[in-house]
Homo-oligomer: A and B are copies of this chain.
Amino acid sequence: MDGIITTDDSWEVAGRRFRSRLIVGTGRYKDLPETAAAIEASGAEIVTVAVRRVNTSDPSAPLLQDFVSPERYTYLPNTAGCHTAQEAVRTLRLAREAGGWNLVKLEVLGPPPYLYPDMAGTFEAAAALIADGFEVMVYCADDPVAAKRLEEMGCVAIMPLGAPIGSGMGVVNPYMIRAIKAQARVPVLVDAGIGTASEAAFAMELGCDAVLLNSAIAHAGDPVRMARAMKAAVGAGRDAFLARRMPRDYRADASSPTKGLIAG
């Protein structure tokens, strides 16, 4: 009976098709086995990797690739730790040279302690990267004007924050996420801010195409169980969006004798 509704609900970014709508980070875990176990449990098909944190100097240290196979997962290099357009562009060029990755996640962050997206730097870097042939998924403010412009420049996915990186505050401004989605012709992903399962489901219920998160899993008490929770939550939110929820209505139910919970 379940089968009736299990039509294909995959999504596409930059010409690649995915079934999972959850993208996960690879940092902040205790160790690489835990990283691998959590990613496995999350069901993610795309994992994002901070290029600047990748081990390149110590030949005896374990490698992410040995635990999270690039054959199985789509690696999405990101520019975490870059605070200027120049740094971000240079970082992704290095990544392309080293690994051939062309589909990238751009983030240019403002100074601490806020680590909010630096939109001026983001525009500058996006322009340079697109001119350079990259396919750019872009982390950005929850600003519908900026989001539209990034799409028009050629970004392949728009990724507004739910809340600042690592804050676990959820989707603080759902109105703007919805506004960004309403006008977009490329995928929209909530990236950053998600802290627990209900928040991931909520992001999907807003109509987003996917969710990207890292700390919510890596910093949970039990990362592997939280990864499983996130997998289920993203699916639940997507299904709930497609199923079209009942109206929020502060009146009693239609089956009751008289209608209207409140007069005013």
Complex CA–CA separation, A248 to B195 (angstroms): 7
Interface flag for A154 (CB, 8 Å): no
Contact in complex: A259, B113 (CB < 8 Å): yes
Contact in complex: B232, A179 (CB < 8 Å): no
Contact A239 to B229, CB < 8 A, known contacts A165-B253, A166-B253: yes
- CB-CB under 8 A from A242, the residues of chain B are 222, 225
Contact in complex: A215, B246 (CB < 8 Å): yes
- CB-CB under 8 A from A27, the residues of chain B are 255, 264
Give 6 pairs: A residue, B residue, CB < 8 Å, sorted on A.
A116-B176, A165-B256, A178-B262, A179-B261, A219-B246, A225-B242
Which positions in A face B, CB cutoff 8 Å? 1-2, 4-5, 27-28, 36-37, 40-41, 81, 110-120, 123, 141, 143-146, 148-149, 163-170, 172-173, 175-176, 178-179, 182-183, 195-202, 205, 207, 215-216, 218-226, 228-233, 235-240, 242-264
* A-B complex: 6 closest residue pairs judged by Cβ atoms: A166-B253, A166-B262, A221-B244, A110-B145, A229-B239, A197-B240
